[in-house]
Amino acid sequence: MTELSTGGGIGYRRVATEEAFAPAEMLEHYVKLLRNGSGDKGFDSLWGFYLESQAQRPRDVRRRLADLGDERLSDMDATGIDHQVLALTSPGTQILDTATARSIAALANDAAAQAVRDHPTRFSALAAVALQDPESAVAELERAVTKLGLRGLIVNSHVHGEYLDDPKFWPVLEAAERLDVPVYLHPNTPTNRMIEPLLEAGLDGAVFGFAVETSTHLLRLITAGVFDRFPRLKLVVGHLGEALPFWLYRLDYMHTATVRAQRYEVLKPLQRKISDYFRSNIWVTTSGMAWEPAILFCRDVLGADRVLYAMDYPYQYAPDEVRAQDGLSISLDERRQFFETTATELFGISL
């Protein structure tokens, strides 16, 4: 059994790549939205729970989300996490009105940048933007990357029910490609147009709704030709790719058959197979999926260099899951790649 200690004495450092935070100012807006009616059924379900439940897990989550200092560092030490890639928790700015989204994005990026300055070996961070206003989003992403030193863009899935395959969002993707920083496509609850059969069964959240929403979003991005248009765009997806790696054969087969039959005006030929983009433009992290069979499956079908570690702190703060991944049946060199070097290269992190 490896020790849950930091510092690389076990042969690698652990870089956790899907680690959430939430400025108190944003949570105050969430409280207001819950009180006034957000118009988003998934938000009401998710944040009604995390902000109002008195159960232990949601209480721990909301306290830990707001901290970028001692408690977080102590939790990282206790579970052997050398470095967290911070990202604004879901849905981040994407549930807010445009003006509020702009100000919260800037505030969150400034707060994350401060944490990085305070603890440069322990934290790096992704930028939040107001996707509701793509022009300002491009400007904020540029500011966050070039002035604040942030290392990518967090996209918490849909934006008031819209997906990033809509070309109005493409300037943001173009900016990420130009700045050479990855886009992390993180789950949110499904849009009002998909959520009801999940919500009424209590399945709209992380248990399954996140997967439905995010896999749909990712597949829309691919089939809309985003990677043909932006061939150097890097996309990171949690939860081992939201199960799309499991579907690669069928996606290739049925997408090809459907395009050939010209069944849909909207479904145009792609330059490559769907599975090819997973092996060139997409990385998957193990957030929420600390399970050897699924991790090794993804390494097998995507490539070992496509799969990297994430904890999903504070939602899944589980030392046993670090141990499970320390114990993967791969070599020490492969564990270093999995826990450390794929992440440091992808996000441009110096430990």
Active-site residue list: 312
| Cα angle value 282/198/29 (rounded, 5°) | 75
> Judged by CB under 8 A, which of 6, 79, 188, 223 binds a copy of itself?
223
Residue identified by tokens 């090809």 is 256
Nearest-approach distance from CB 11 to a copy of itself, in angstroms? 26
Asked if 104 and 26 touch (Cβ cutoff 8 Å), the reply is yes
- The SS3 assignment for 176 reads helix
For the beta carbon of residue 116, count every other beta carbon within 10 angstroms: 20
Provide CB contacts within 8 A for 47, sequence distance 6+: 30, 33, 34
> Judged by CB under 8 A, which of 37, 266, 329, 350 binds a copy of itself?
266
Size of residue set near a copy of itself by CB under 8 A: 62
Instruction: Examine residue 51 and tell whether it contacts a copy of itself (CB under 8 A).
Output: no
Instruction: Examine residue 300 and tell whether it contacts a copy of itself (CB under 8 A).
Output: yes
Q: Which tokens in the block code for residue 179?
A: 């700045």
Of 307, 300, 315, the closest CA to residue 335 belongs to 307
- Angle between the N-to-C axes of helices 70-78 and 56-65, in degrees from 0 to 180, rounded to the nearest 10: 120
5/142 Cα distance (integer angstroms): 36
- The SS3 assignment for 19 reads strand
> Judged by CB under 8 A, which of 294, 310, 328, 343 binds a copy of itself?
294
Q: Quick one: 139 or 324, whose CB is closer to a copy of itself?
A: 324
Rounded to 5 degrees, φ, ψ at 148 are -100, -15
Q: Quick one: 38 or 287, whose CB is closer to a copy of itself?
A: 287
Instruction: Examine residue 85 and tell whether it contacts a copy of itself (CB under 8 A).
Output: no
Q: Which parts of 137-166 interact with a copy of itself (CB under 8 A)?
A: 163, 165
Q: Which stretch binds a copy of itself (CB under 8 A): 98-106, 110-118, 179-187, 218-226?
A: 218-226
Instruction: Examine residue 194 and tell whether it contacts a copy of itself (CB under 8 A).
Output: yes
Q: Which parts of 306-325 interact with a copy of itself (CB under 8 A)?
A: 316
Nearest-approach distance from CB 149 to a copy of itself, in angstroms? 33
Distance of CA 191 to the CA centre of its chain: 17
Q: Which residues would be at the binding site for a copy of itself (CB under 8 A)?
A: 49, 53, 55-58, 163, 165, 191, 193-194, 196-198, 200-203, 205-208, 211-212, 215-216, 219-220, 223-224, 239-240, 243, 245-251, 253-255, 257-258, 260-264, 266-267, 288-291, 293-294, 297, 300-301, 316
